[in-house]
Structure 1
Amino acid sequence: MTILISPLSISVLQFLGVAFLGIGLWAWSEKGVLSNISSITDLGGFDPVWLFLVVGGVMFILGFAGCIGALRENTFLLKFFSVFLGVIFFLELTAGVLAFVFKDWIRDQLNFFINKNIRAYRDDIDLQNLIDFTQEYWECCGAHNADDWNLNIYFNCTDGNTSRERCGVPFSCCTKDPTEDVINTQCGYDVRLKEVLEQQNYIYTKGCVGQFEKWLQENLTVVAGIFIGIALLQIFGICLSQNLVSDIEAVRASW
């Protein structure tokens, strides 16, 4: 019975992996990356498409090994599925422990990551949308504060900057007016020329690193529950594959 159930459940994982890979490749095709592979290294910040490709690739490999291994009663593929899933579980566990022990280092790395992507804000539409979503969702601006946008060539306050966005911030930093149905994409223009206290009337002045930490503390139970649920599914997958391997080897030994 478990041999019949396993391929059906794991094939869903394989289908999701193909879907993620398809979305990632389609996004790269729209941006012209597939016609010019060297452009992958041109982006100074993080390309969100990598998330779809990596997650999709891992899910496809796991789904393929688990599904084909169970259908064909291939113990090598089932053992590969079990070991691969175990490695992922170990890496997740290690990352969780390190994140708890080295909280200050993680905070510094997060700050560095955000600032690096602020520099590349206008270089890629997917990265731009990701930053805008982050700032709107956590009601923040920059890594530590709005002045982090000085790192971007379009928003910095240097005298040589001729951009209309000089001394401004992206619209995602602006506080939202519930009466406005249309987003004012120019709401952040010249806002950093104002005094800090006055800026609070127009934009979010708290940094995204601090807001993320605050959100994490407020939703710690939910986040922990999600990670525990994922861990239990991984453990269940490992146990199921090992059980299938034992059943297959027992049947073969009885011949």
Structure 2
Amino acid sequence: MVEDERTQLLPKEAGFDESPALSCNYTVRVLEPIPKKHNAGPSGWGCLPQGDKWHLAPSLQGGLPLPLNFWSSCIKYLIFLLNFLFSLLGLLTLVVGLWGLTDKESLGSQQLPHLGTDPMLLFVVVGLTVSIVSLAGCVGALCENVCLLWFFAGGILTFLILETLAGILIYALWDQLQDILDSTMLVAINRYQDDSDLRFLLDEIQLGLQCCGVVSYQDWKLNLYFNCSSPGVQACGLPHSCCINPWENGTIINSQCGFGALSLDEATAQNVVHSEGCGPRLRQWLSHNSWVIRDYTLVTTVTEGLEFLLVTKLVRDIKVRKASD
């Protein structure tokens, strides 16, 4: 048995000095390239690059997409920073508007039909619009998302068109707008006790410009509560904002400082309340401060126009970079 086994192990022709052939059972596996998997979403969406480059190491896939050049990167982060600041301002305006509506209970079932005439609704609409457009610019610039950048550019272009039209209308209808301001103030006088927003605005105008009424303090006779025929305690009276000194002890507003002023003769009333109307004072203030409105409009328009050009430049650079990948 031993010799038979040795015969099977050694070839018959081989001598004892020859080594038997060794068998090595190694299996060679050929690595096939991993098929490329495309993203399910549409092209240009999301912050991550497309394909499977984030699933494997860059050394195995040939590296990440080429970054933007220096100037394009500067434009990208400048757009992000500007829109981040604008989004904060928009959110602040939105919060102020919502706080005003909530504080006056304008969102209640009884006041909801009059919501369209509430001035605080303008803050909500403007704040929400600015926030949405600015956030689209932030995310679009940071993630290099072409769709969001085009949405932001469309919003900026819409703002520019609306501001230009508003400026043209204000310049062309300046005299008519001053007459509209007078009519609006007369409406505010009639609804002084009924609308808290109009009351606040009218008091601020009269206190700031040191005036009373539209043409003169006699305009307050149009108010049912201040008219001398009224049976209430405010009959023949004026709001505290018409008083020359509405403060009591310099700290507390004396709401009754104008009571009985309409029953006084004009010479005596001038020592208690402001006799000049707010119409001429408001025209004078607008004339002296028109440069502020003009410069603000100019700076805003130039900033938005420059931002629109920067966005279009960034979109073009992103498309060129993607085409070269």
In which range does the TM-score fall when normalised by the shorter chain?
A: 0.7 to 0.9
Distance across 2 between alignment mates of 1:110 and 1:132: 15
Identify the residue that residue 32 of structure 2 maps to in structure 1.
Answer: none
1:249 is the counterpart of 2:322: no
1:175 is the counterpart of 2:244: yes
8 Å contact kept, 2:240–2:246: no
Q: Which has the higher helix share?
A: 1
Identify the residue that residue 5 of structure 1 maps to in structure 2.
Answer: 78
Counterpart residue identity of residue 231, structure 1: T
8 Å contact kept, 1:18–1:56: yes
Counterpart residue identity of residue 129, structure 1: F
CA shift, 1:177, in A, is 7.2
Deviations 1:219-245 (A, max 9, x none): 233332222222222222222222222
1:163 is the counterpart of 2:207: no
Identify the residue that residue 18 of structure 1 maps to in structure 2.
Answer: 91
CA shift, 1:49, in A, is 1.7
Taking structure 2 as the reference length, what is the TM-score of the superposition?
0.69
Distance across 2 between alignment mates of 1:15 and 1:25: 15
Alignment of 1:40-189 (within 5 A): 40-42=112-114, 47-157=118-228, 159=229, 161-176=230-245, 180-181=249-250, 182-189=252-259
Q: Which structure's relative contact order is higher, taking Cα pairs within 8 Å and 6+ residues apart?
A: 1
**Are the structure 2 counterparts of residues 104 and 221 from structure 1 closer, same or farther at C-alpha, using a change threshold of 3 Å?**
closer
CA RMSD of aligned residues (A): 2.5
Select the residue among 281, 303, 324 that pairs with 1:233.
303
Give the 4+ runs in structure 1 shifted more than 3 A: 40-43, 45-48, 124-127, 177-180
Deviations 1:18-62 (A, max 9, x none): 2221222222222222332x514448x963422421331222122
Report the secondary structure of 1:97's partner residue. Answer: helix
Identify the residue that residue 107 of structure 2 maps to in structure 1.
Answer: 34
Q: Rg bigger for which structure?
A: 2
8 Å contact kept, 1:47–1:127: no
Counterpart residue identity of residue 183, structure 1: I
**Are the structure 2 counterparts of residues 169 and 40 from structure 1 closer, same or farther at C-alpha, using a change threshold of 3 Å?**
farther
Q: Which structure 1 segments of 5+ residues have no match?
A: none
8 Å contact kept, 1:168–1:188: yes
CA shift, 1:179, in A, is 9.0
**Are the structure 2 counterparts of residues 221 and 23 from structure 1 closer, same or farther at C-alpha, using a change threshold of 3 Å?**
closer
Identify the residue that residue 222 of structure 1 maps to in structure 2.
Answer: 292
Q: Which structure 2 segments of 5+ residues have no match?
A: 1-72
8 Å contact kept, 1:47–1:124: no
CA shift, 1:210, in A, is 1.8
8 Å contact kept, 1:146–1:206: yes
